[in-house]
Structures are given as C-alpha cells and as structure tokens.
Amino acid sequence: MKSSTPFRAFLRLIFRRQTLRFFARTPANAEIQLPSLYVEFCTDPTVSVALMKNFVHTLDDQKFGAGIIIYSASLTSQASKIISTIAGQFRIEAFPESELMVNITHHELVPRHIVMTPEEKKELLIRYRLKETQLPRIQLADPVARYYGLRRGQVVKIIRKSETAGRYASYRICM
C-alpha cells in the first residue's frame, strides 16, 4: 500500500497540470482588440515535437492568436524550431516553470517598464528628432522583455529613481 503512495501523488500532479489550461479573449466592446490567448502547462517534463504540434493544433482549431506553453524541464531544439517556423501564423511563447516562480517586475532593482503604443513611439521619435536606430536597445531575450512579450520594433519606457531628479525616463527599442 505504501509503495503506491508516490505514484498516486504523481498522478495527482499530472491531473492538476491538465486542469491548468485556460484561455483569455478580449471583450467585444474593448477599445483595443488583442489576440485571444491560450495558456497550457505541459504535462511532460520535456516539450517534444509531438506535444508542440498538439499545442499548435489546439491554437489553430480554437482560433487563438497567441499561446503560452509552460514546461518543467526542457524544450527540445526541434520543438523550438516549430515555434520559429509558425511565428507569422501564431505568437507562441515558451517558459520554463523556474522563470515564472518569481515576478521579476516586483524586484526592487528592476525599474518600472511601460510598453509604448505605436502612436506614442511615433510621438517620441518626432519630439526628440530621432530615428529608431538611435534609440538604446533591449534584447528580445531580456527577462523583462520576455515578461511583457515585447516584439522587434516595440519601444519600452523605463522609469528609474534618481537622487537628483527624483525620477527620470529612458527609452529602449526591442531588437
């Protein structure tokens, strides 16, 4: 009887992961229409090609525009290639559980980041007479950029504390 206890705990863990699938859609009367989002916690520790194909199939069948898959161990290189090949059709993010244990934006050393709209970006470039290439950069792989789901060309406003000015804003473009 005792030998089956760890197995039952394992089955409960798998059952919980299967129930952690959900989606979000923007209400029809919202000002800004965002793509519908599907989130899935992977039941297997490693995301294989078959699991990724099932995930993409779910996105396609249910007409989701974006998806987040969360895994516990690793993402195979072939599965990550699937993400890059269908990037035009769907927006897919893959996160290991370890990255999601702590909300990095709440850390005292991480300044406030605000993603700018295309209109705000245009106004910024006109106001300071800049070209996009003249803005400092933030990498796509930056943890905060991944947290906010930044894409190439998007600008983020970073508000930092300053001893002399109180606070100041800087801007970075995602590359």
Q: What CATH number does residue 73 fall under?
A: 3.40.1340.10
Amino acid identity of residue 79, one-letter, is: A
Same domain, 22 and 96: yes
Question: What integer pLDDT is reported at residue 4 of this predicted model?
Answer: 56
Q: Which residues in the chain come in under a pLDDT of 50?
A: 1
Q: Write out the residue range of the structural domain in which residue 67 sits.
A: 2-100
The number of distinct structural domains making up the chain is 2
Give the predicted TM-score (pTM) of the model: 0.77
Domain termination residue (choose one: 37, 69, 100)? 100
Q: For strand 21-24 and strand 37-41, is the pairing parallel, antiparallel, or unpaired? A: antiparallel
Strand residue runs (E) in the chain? 21-24, 37-41, 46-47, 66-71, 74-75, 91-96, 112-115, 137-138, 155-162, 166-174
Same domain, 52 and 82: yes
| Size (the chain), residues | 175
Query: What letters, b where the CB count within 10 A reaches 16 and e where it falls short, cover 72-106?
Result: beebeeebeebbeeeeeebbbebeeeeeeeeeeee
Question: What integer pLDDT is reported at residue 157 of this predicted model?
Answer: 97
How many Å apart are CA 60 and CA 19, to the nearest integer?
A: 20
Same domain, 85 and 143: no
Question: What integer pLDDT is reported at residue 26 of this predicted model?
Answer: 82
**DSSP reduced 3-state for 71:** strand
